Each structure stands twice: as C-alpha cells, then as structure tokens.
Amino acid sequence: MNNTIIPYGKQNITQKDIDAVIAALQSDYLTQGPRIKDFEDQFAKYVGSKYAVAVANGTAALHLCTLALGVKEGDKVITTPITFAASANCIRYCGGEVVFSDIDPSTYLLDIEKVKTLLESVPKGTYKGIIPVDFAGRAVDLEAFRKLADEYNLWIIEDACHAPGGYFVDANKNKQRCGNSNFANLAIFSFHPVKHIACGEGGMVTTNDTDLYQKLLALRTHGITKNETEYSNSLEFACGQSEHFNQYPGWYMEMQTLGFNYRITDFQAALGTSQLQRANDGLEKRRTIASNYANAFNELSFIKGQSGVVAGHAYHLYIIEVEDRLGLYNYLRKHNIFAQIHYIPCHLMPYYKQFGWKEGDMPNSEKYYKKCISLPIYPTLTYEEQDFVINKIRSFYNL
Ligand SMILES: Cc1ncc(COP(=O)(O)O)c(C=O)c1O
C-alpha cells in the first residue's frame, strides 16, 4: 500500500500553527518578545507548575538545570542508561560524574530499588542528585524518588521530554502531572519535531522554586540581570559621571554570573503555544494507537514485552521487544516503515566507556537493547497506516 515513509514519530502542523508563526514574524519581535512569556505561562498551567522558562532546546534546558543546581567538578549524579545522551551529558557539561543505574525491565524506567542499593553502599553525601527520565512517556513515580532523595539530601531533575500530559498516581490517589515539580526540584521538556509539542527546536524548564527560577532566567541570557535591587556596582559607576545622577540609567545591566544564550525565539514560542492548544487531542490519539497495538500484539509469542496500556502514559514511543529485531527492522524499512531503536544504552557509548563503563554493568538495559523496537506513533498516523504496520510485523513472523 505504501510508497510514502511511515516514520516512528512526526510533527503535526496545522494552518492555525502557520498563522501563529506568520503573526509573530510580522510583529515587532523575532525574539525576546511577549510570545515567549505567553508560552511559558500557558505551559506552566498545562503541567501544573508555578514557573516555566522557555529555552533553545531540551539539552539547553538540562544544562541550565545542572548549572542552577550548582553541579561542579566531580559531583556524582545518578541517571538511567536508557535515555537520550543529553540526560547524562548535562552532568558532564558541569564536570560532574555520571553514575548510571539500571532499569526495571517491566517499566523500562530507572529502578528505584537499584538506586537505593547504590545510595546505601556509600557514605551519605557521596551523591548530589538524580535525573529520572519519563522514558517513552511513562511517568516515573517521583513521590517515591522524592522520599529517597530526601533521605540522602539529593536534588531531582525530572527529564520529562517524552511526557507532557503524562502523570503518575500518588499515594493519596491524586494524579501528579509530569513536570509539575511537586516532587522534582526542576523538570525539563523538549519541543523537537518528534515530541508532543513541536517548535522546530525548543525546550522548557519548569519549577516551583522561586530561587531556581531566578537563576534560570539569568543563566538563559548570559548571566545578565536588569533588576536593580541585585546590582552590585555603584550608581556613580553605572551613570559614568560623578554628578547629576539619581537612578540607574536605562541602558544599565550587570553580568553577574557566567551564563549562555539559550533563548528561544518569539516565532518558535508562537508555534509552541499554538501546538499546546491541541496537546490533549494529540495525547488521546497516541493513547488510541497504543491501545490498538496492545490489542494486536497481546497474544503473540514472538513479542516478549511491550509498552501496553498504562494509565498516565503519554506514549511518545510505543515499544515492543522481539526476537530477530534486526530482521524485523530491515523488513519494515523495506516496506517504508521507519521504526527506530530507543536507545543504545548510554553507558556503552564510546564517550562513557572511557570512564570505565563496560558491557555487563547494566544487564537489564543491555538485554532490553537487544530486543527493543519503537513502532510508529504520532497523532496523524491513520488507522490504515497502523494496520499496515501491524500486518507487516505479523507477516515477518509468518502469521
Ligand atoms: C529524554 C530526552 N532528554 C533530552 C533530550 C534533548 O532534547 P533536545 O533534542 O531538544 O535538545 C531528548 C531529545 O531527544 C530526549 O529524548
């Protein structure tokens, strides 16, 4: 049936999105205009956090978090190997040491029991923080992680790139939305085109902590502040003359810390805000697609595991674990179905191997990597296309 490629993920751009971007391009601001704050306010409301800071991409969001938390040379931080490298790299950007801890094979998420064992095996104070990832869109139980983190005085950055709109249910049966920062100190999102909300490139940090929020704002723009209550240079110096001055002049600002240009543009923010209005519809479509896959594969013996139907899952990815994964991947590609592998375990990337990580260190992640494959899932995937994918998988296994 198919001459066009069916990718594993894809953006959905409507005429409304295009109009919103055009309006931004025709306005007075290409960057640092009112659309950024608007995007931040609406996004904070969507996830249920107090603050949101829009940035250039998800990697910049992670870097700003490790900077704001003061990660420094040699600080040990725990994360999962089954994630995009940026979740770990942000620790290295600040000179910290990445300590990988294995996944729970039934959820594919960082296994809290293994993290506990790691923390118990060394004196308190050895570790500084944890970066759990809502991998594939499945929400981490951050209430449990917070309890553990408090025992060891650790901070938490929730990497929620895969999970806007996702949630877990806490001990009091309340839904806790990914990124609401009720348990994590900071949470981050990416607006890369395959994600739920596309800005081209874009990212967001969310938090409920006023102090961290102020730090993020400054670090996003070169460590510059324009808040005169924070100035440390004298009024006389700022004015550049020794008389006829009584307030800081309009041009004055201070660079007080080493920051970056991690800003997003106004037209990207306009696209993000427009996409956000349809985020819940997209989520519903992803859930329907996931449920169709689950029904199609439930009884099949060649499938050893799959994302399945899980409450609160945001289904950025739908993953199955299969025999002869390479054969299936190549067969699907031959039929223009571009499934993908998420992820090659991060600790076995040559960059991380140089720190001593080796095969056998993370048995669950390594076993998972040998079998996993991510099937097409995105809001505009049609029923016929999904059927085509399911039938091709069945035919590869001679069903
Ligand atoms: C889990 C995770 N963390 C971080 C990132 C980095 O986001 P970006 O590509 O926007 O820099 C990604 C993006 O692929 C991701 O999937």
192-219 confidence digits (pLDDT tens) = 999 999 999 999 999 999 999 999 999 9
* Residue 239 burial (10 A CB sphere; 0-12, 13-18, 19+): middle
Whether 203 is in the pocket of ligand 1, judged by its Cβ within 6 Å, is: yes
Whether omega for the bond prior to residue 343 falls within 30 degrees of 0, making it cis, is yes
122-145 confidence digits (pLDDT tens) = 999 999 999 999 999 999 999 999
pLDDT greater than 60 at residue 327: yes
Q: Kindly state the average pLDDT of the residues 356-377.
A: 98
Q: Which residues 6+ apart lie within 8 Å of 243 measured at CB?
A: none
pLDDT greater than 60 at residue 23: yes
Nearest CA to 187 out of 277, 327, 55 is that of 55
Q: Where would I find the beta strands (DSSP E) of the chain?
A: 6-7, 51-55, 76-79, 97-100, 127-131, 155-159, 167-169, 175-177, 186-190, 203-207, 224-225, 254-255, 303-306, 318-322, 337-338, 372-375
Nearest CA to 293 out of 313, 271, 275, 278 is that of 313
Residue nearest to atom 14 of ligand 1 (CA): 84
Whether 86 is in the pocket of ligand 1, judged by its Cβ within 6 Å, is: yes
Are 142 and 171 in contact, with CB atoms under 8 Å apart?
no
Q: Kindly state the average pLDDT of the residues 110-116.
A: 98
Give how far the C-alpha of residue 155 lies from the chain's centroid of Cα atoms, to the nearest Å. Answer: 17
Q: Grade residue 1 by pLDDT with cuts at 50, 70 and 90.
A: low
Residue nearest to atom 8 of ligand 1 (CA): 58
252-300 confidence digits (pLDDT tens) = 999 999 999 999 999 999 999 999 999 999 999 999 999 999 999 998 8
pLDDT greater than 90 at residue 19: yes
pLDDT greater than 60 at residue 369: yes
Are 269 and 292 in contact, with CB atoms under 8 Å apart?
no
Euclidean distance between CA atoms 172 and 179, whole angstroms: 19
Q: Grade residue 173 by pLDDT with cuts at 50, 70 and 90.
A: very high
Whether 161 is in the pocket of ligand 1, judged by its Cβ within 6 Å, is: yes
Q: Give the pLDDT confidence score for residue 299 in this predicted structure.
A: 86
Mean pLDDT of all residues belonging to the chain: 97
User: Separation of 49 CA from ligand 1 center, angstroms?
Assistant: 20
Q: Kindly state the average pLDDT of the residues 68-76.
A: 98
Give how far the C-alpha of residue 362 lies from the chain's centroid of Cα atoms, to the nearest Å. Answer: 22
Q: Kindly state the average pLDDT of the residues 369-388.
A: 98
